[in-house]
Amino acid sequence: MHEVRPSKRGGRGLFATQRIRSDTLLMEAPLLLIPGDQREALRSTIVDDYVYEWEDDGTAALVLGVSSMCNHSDAPNAYLWLVPDTSTAELWSLSAIRRDDEITVSYRADGTDAPLWFDIVDD
C-alpha cells in the first residue's frame, strides 16, 4: 500500500503504491514514550524533530515505523492520530490518494498555524 522513497520535499517520504480511498487506516505503529525528565536531553539531537507532545508533564512520543517518514504539508492527505491510552499511533487517509502520490501529514497541532522549524517545500 505504501513505501519509502526519495521525496522532492527533501530527504525521504512515504508514497502510495496503489490507489487509497479516503478514510482508510494506512497503518498502526507503536509509540516509544520519552519521560518528561529525559526530554531535555533530546532537544540537541535530530530525534527531537520526530517526537510529538504526549503529556502535559513533558512526556514525548516517538512514532516507530515508516509513518515517521511522512513529510509535512499545509494541505495533508493523511492524519497521524496518537491514540490516547494505547501508546500507539494510527495513520489515516483524509482524502483519496493516487498511486505514486506522497502521503503527507500536518506537523502542526490541530487548529493552529504555529511556526515550524523548517521551510515548507511543496512538490
User: Is pLDDT above 50 for 94?
Assistant: yes
Average the pLDDT over each of 15-19, 101-105, 109-113 and give the range with the smallest value. 109-113
Average pLDDT over residues 64-82: 90
Which long-range CB contacts under 8 A does 55-62 form with residues at least 24 apart? 59/33, 59/34, 59/35, 60/33, 60/34, 60/36, 61/31, 61/32, 61/33, 61/34, 61/87, 61/89, 62/31, 62/32, 62/33, 62/34
Give pTM, 2 decimals: 0.82
Average pLDDT over residues 31-40: 92
Q: Which domains does the chain have, with CATH numbers?
A: 2-105 (2.170.270.10)
